[in-house]
């Protein structure tokens, strides 16, 4: 019984640490300063930003700084996707996540409460208006801390994303995450110990 209590305590500790892990800011470009012409974000033009994780991370929030153009409908929708890295652009054959988001007002719009886990590596987060999405938006440019790389895509073609450079393409994006390794290790250790205890008792 004492062993079982120890195992349960270790399990609870692992879960507690998983919930209290310090958040990592993977990308925070800051809000754009509105210098230059904004980029279009609609069914004919998509944008993506590169980011890197140095350890296993659980993505929790993704937001982009979006303004509506004059024809934008109420409650407009768009998709946020994560792709693997094809060098200077997203790898469209390796989509790791995609979920519809809603535009609510000019400013930061996106998704929260996510639980998508990524291994250490380079990735791209893409803003896409696809399928039944209705957003007719604008992405103001010139940010203080640009993403590692930027790419754009005309989805009406089959060429995929193309690398872009310069302040004229540096739109606002934020990605927050929670590191995974320590909490997962503790939880896994607890489960392993529980399994061994069960086998010993059954003998």
Summarised one tens digit per residue, pLDDT across range 158-198 is 789 999 988 999 999 999 999 997 645 455 555 555 556 55
Best CA proximity match to 44, nearest among 120, 117, 152, 122: 152
Percent of the chain at pLDDT exceeding 70: 79
Residue 47 and residue 39 in contact, taking contact as beta carbons nearer than 8 Å: yes
Q: Is 49 in the same domain as 103?
A: yes
Full domain range(s) for residue 10 = 1-21+182-203
Q: Is 166 in the same domain as 189?
A: no
Q: What is the pLDDT of residue 200?
A: 57
What does pTM read for this prediction? 0.81
Instruction: Give the HSE-up count for residue 15: Cα atoms under 13 Å, Cβ half-sphere.
Output: 8
Q: Is 91 in the same domain as 142?
A: yes
Q: Is 93 in the same domain as 187?
A: no
Q: What b/e readout covers 106-128, taking b as 16+ CB neighbours within 10 angstroms?
A: eeebbbeebeebbeeeebbbbbb
Q: Residue 195: left if φ>0, alpha if ψ -120 to 50, beta else—which one? A: alpha
CATH number of the domain at 104, please: 2.60.120
3-state secondary structure of 21: coil
Q: What is the pLDDT of residue 159?
A: 84
Q: Is 112 in the same domain as 157?
A: yes
Q: What is the pLDDT of residue 133?
A: 97
Q: Is 7 in the same domain as 100?
A: no
pLDDT, average across residues 29-57 = 96
Residue 141 and residue 36 in contact, taking contact as beta carbons nearer than 8 Å: yes
pLDDT at 4 over 70: no
pLDDT at 203 over 90: no
Q: Is 173 in the same domain as 192?
A: no
């Amino acid at each position: 019984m004492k062993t079982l209590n120890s195992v349960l305590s270790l399990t609870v500790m692992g879960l507690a640490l998983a919930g209290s892990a310090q958040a990592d800011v993977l990308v925070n470009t800051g809000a754009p300063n509105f210098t230059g012409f904004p980029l279009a974000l609609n069914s004919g033009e998509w944008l993506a930003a590169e980011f890197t994780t140095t350890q296993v991370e659980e993505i929790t929030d993704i937001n982009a700084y979006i303004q509506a153009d004059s024809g934008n409908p109420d409650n407009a929708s768009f998709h946020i996707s994560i792709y693997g890295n094809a060098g200077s652009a997203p790898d469209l054959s390796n989509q790791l996540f995609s979920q519809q988001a809603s535009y609510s007002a000019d400013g930061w719009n996106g998704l929260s409460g996510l639980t998508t886990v990524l291994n250490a590596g380079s990735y791209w987060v893409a803003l896409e208006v696809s399928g039944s999405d209705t957003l007719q938006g604008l992405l103001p440019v010139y940010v203080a801390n640009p993403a590692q790389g930027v790419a754009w895509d005309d989805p009406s073609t089959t060429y995929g994303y193309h690398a872009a450079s310069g302040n004229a393409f540096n739109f606002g994006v934020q990605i927050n995450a929670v590191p995974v390794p320590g909490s997962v290790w503790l939880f896994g250790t607890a489960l392993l110990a529980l399994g061994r205890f069960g086998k010993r008792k059954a003998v």
